[in-house]
């Protein structure tokens, strides 16, 4: 099912102060796709999910499923599933009984208990109680149980954040493939940038209740429209410049830019898009070996630049170098923030 959110707003009053938890938030989630909402703690992610699920009422805005508004439908009738950070399995039921329970009110279930257990790779664990499962297995079980209920949209609130890194990686690949097999329409919220980039069909960067930018992970990484998005998704050099068509003048010379512009602009350049050359313009102040690459800090007057190269570049701190861009600099759309 396609989910549409239009201009959603929600404020809370807390100790006489207004908190705008969700502000002018619009979003479309295509049927069968996974949207990841990435943002720092407190930016309104859980509030947004609660509004979609109907656990909270928006101040304004609409939410629709396949073009039908659901704002007046009570939460239990919306057909929206919710999976939380902490496992929500029933402590006194085996895994297969929990899944059977979720299937029990379906007259024609899409998948059987056996199929669901198999797709989730949990057949061998079917007779276990939650306390006999690891944290990752419990989360996988909770997701399977939610899928058994065939939600129109499944919402997941930081479902992997309590798990340690290697387990999280494996689990998120499994969940991704489970969603593909079942063509689940889902929204997952997280503050983990790596998770957002690795999993999303559509990635949305959220900050202070607003959606800053939405698109594929690659398009957001390569072409952020503002410095906050650039910074959430990786390291970024932000450089002031004077644009003139397809070039911009910077303190270290003209650079090609990704779209025509005129006048004062800010440019975003990923550290790995610079090359180091023998030269004079920049002084190397720091070199850090990081395994997969080497991180360099360079200065030229007031300007500090971060460069990532492979580790075969043979320069040392104290030496002078020039830099060259391997792809045009990205012109940010706003002038501040």
Burial label for 312, CB within 10 Å (0-12, 13-18, 19+), is: exposed
Q: Where are the beta strands (DSSP E) in 110-232?
A: 153-157, 186-190, 202-207, 210-215
Q: Determine if 236 is a binding residue for ligand ADP (CB under 6 A).
A: no
**93 Cβ partners below 8 Å, 6+ apart?**
101, 129
Edge-to-edge strand list for the sheet holding 202-207:
80-83, 153-157, 186-190, 34-38, 202-207, 210-215
If the CB atoms of residues 45 and 138 are measured against ligand ADP, the closer one turns out to be 45
**Which partner in Mg ion, ligand ADP, none is near 182 (CB below 5 to 8 A by kind)?**
none
HSE-CB at 204 with a 13 A cutoff on CA atoms is 21
* Residue from 3, 27, 33, 47 in contact with ligand ADP (CB under 6 A): 47
Give the nearest distance from C-beta 164 to ligand ADP in angstroms: 21
Give the nearest distance from C-beta 157 to Mg ion in angstroms: 6
Tell which positions 2-41 bind ligand ADP, by CB under 6 A: 12, 14, 19, 21, 39, 41
If the CB atoms of residues 45 and 287 are measured against ligand ADP, the closer one turns out to be 45
Give the nearest distance from C-beta 8 to Mg ion in angstroms: 16
**220 Cβ partners below 8 Å, 6+ apart?**
203, 205, 213, 214, 229, 233
If the CB atoms of residues 154 and 284 are measured against ligand ADP, the closer one turns out to be 154
Give the nearest distance from C-beta 113 to Mg ion in angstroms: 31
If the CB atoms of residues 83 and 276 are measured against Mg ion, the closer one turns out to be 83
Alpha-carbon span 4 to 35, nearest angstrom: 12
Burial 236-254 (b: 16+ CB within 10 A, else e): bbebebebeeebbebebee
**Which partner in Mg ion, ligand ADP, none is near 199 (CB below 5 to 8 A by kind)?**
none
**Which partner in ligand ADP, Mg ion, none is near 81 (CB below 5 to 8 A by kind)?**
none
**Which partner in Mg ion, ligand ADP, none is near 8 (CB below 5 to 8 A by kind)?**
none
**Which partner in Mg ion, ligand ADP, none is near 215 (CB below 5 to 8 A by kind)?**
none
Whether residue 230 contacts residue 268, with contact meaning beta carbons closer than 8 Å, is answered with yes
* Residue from 43, 52, 125, 154 in contact with ligand ADP (CB under 6 A): 43
If the CB atoms of residues 187 and 276 are measured against Mg ion, the closer one turns out to be 187
Give the nearest distance from C-beta 58 to Mg ion in angstroms: 17
**Which partner in ligand ADP, Mg ion, none is near 153 (CB below 5 to 8 A by kind)?**
none
Q: Determine if 46 is a binding residue for Mg ion (CB under 5 A).
A: yes
The candidate with the shortest Cα–Cα distance to 44, out of 226, 204, 232, 200, is: 204
Tell which positions 135-194 bind ligand ADP, by CB under 6 A: none
* Residue from 42, 253, 260, 317 in contact with ligand ADP (CB under 6 A): 42
- Give Cα 150 distance to the centre of its chain: 24
Q: Determine if 45 is a binding residue for ligand ADP (CB under 6 A).
A: yes
**94 Cβ partners below 8 Å, 6+ apart?**
126, 127, 128, 129
Give the nearest distance from C-beta 43 to ligand ADP in angstroms: 4
* Residue from 25, 29, 44, 125 in contact with ligand ADP (CB under 6 A): 44
Whether residue 276 contacts residue 319, with contact meaning beta carbons closer than 8 Å, is answered with no
Alpha-carbon span 70 to 193, nearest angstrom: 31
Whether residue 163 contacts residue 135, with contact meaning beta carbons closer than 8 Å, is answered with yes
Catalog residues that contact Mg ion under the rule CB under 5 A.
Answer: 46
Catalog residues that contact ligand ADP under the rule CB under 6 A.
Answer: 12, 14, 19, 21, 39, 41-47
């Amino acid at each position: 099912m396609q989910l549409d959110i239009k201009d959603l707003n929600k404020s809370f009053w807390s100790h006489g102060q207004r908190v705008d938890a969700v502000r002018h938030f619009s979003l479309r989630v295509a049927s069968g796709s996974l949207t990841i909402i990435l943002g720092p703690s407190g930016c309104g992610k859980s509030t947004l999910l609660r509004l979609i699920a109907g656990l909270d009422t928006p101040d304004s805005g609409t939410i629709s499923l396949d073009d039908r508004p659901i704002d007046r439908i009570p939460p239990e009738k919306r057909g929206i599933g919710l999976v939380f950070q902490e496992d929500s399995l029933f402590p006194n039921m085996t895994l297969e009984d929990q899944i059977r329970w979720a299937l029990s009110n379906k007259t024609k279930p899409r998948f059987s208990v056996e199929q669901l257990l198999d797709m989730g790779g949990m057949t061998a664990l079917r007779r276990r109680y939650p306390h006999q499962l690891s944290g990752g297995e419990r989360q996988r079980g909770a997701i399977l149980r939610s899928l058994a209920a065939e939600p129109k949209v499944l919402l997941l609130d930081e479902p992997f954040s309590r798990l340690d890194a290697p387990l999280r990686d494996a689990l998120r690949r499994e969940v991704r493939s489970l969603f593909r097999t079942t063509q689940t329409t889902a929204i997952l919220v997280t503050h983990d940038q790596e998770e957002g980039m690795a999993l999303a069909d559509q990635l949305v960067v959220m900050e202070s209740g607003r959606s800053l930018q939405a698109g594929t992970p690659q398009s957001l990484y390569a072409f952020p429209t503002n410095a906050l998005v650039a910074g959430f998704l990786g390291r970024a050099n932000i450089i002031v410049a004077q644009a003139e068509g397809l070039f911009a003048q910077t303190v270290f010379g003209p650079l090609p830019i990704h779209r025509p512009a005129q006048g004062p602009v800010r440019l975003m350049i990923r550290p790995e898009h610079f090359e180091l050359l023998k030269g004079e313009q920049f002084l190397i102040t720091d070199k850090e070996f990081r395994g997969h690459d080497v991180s360099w800090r360079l200065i030229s007057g007031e300007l500090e630049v971060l460069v990532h190269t492979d580790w075969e570049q043979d320069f040392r701190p104290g030496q002078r170098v020039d830099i060259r861009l391997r792809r045009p600099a990205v012109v940010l759309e706003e002038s501040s923030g």
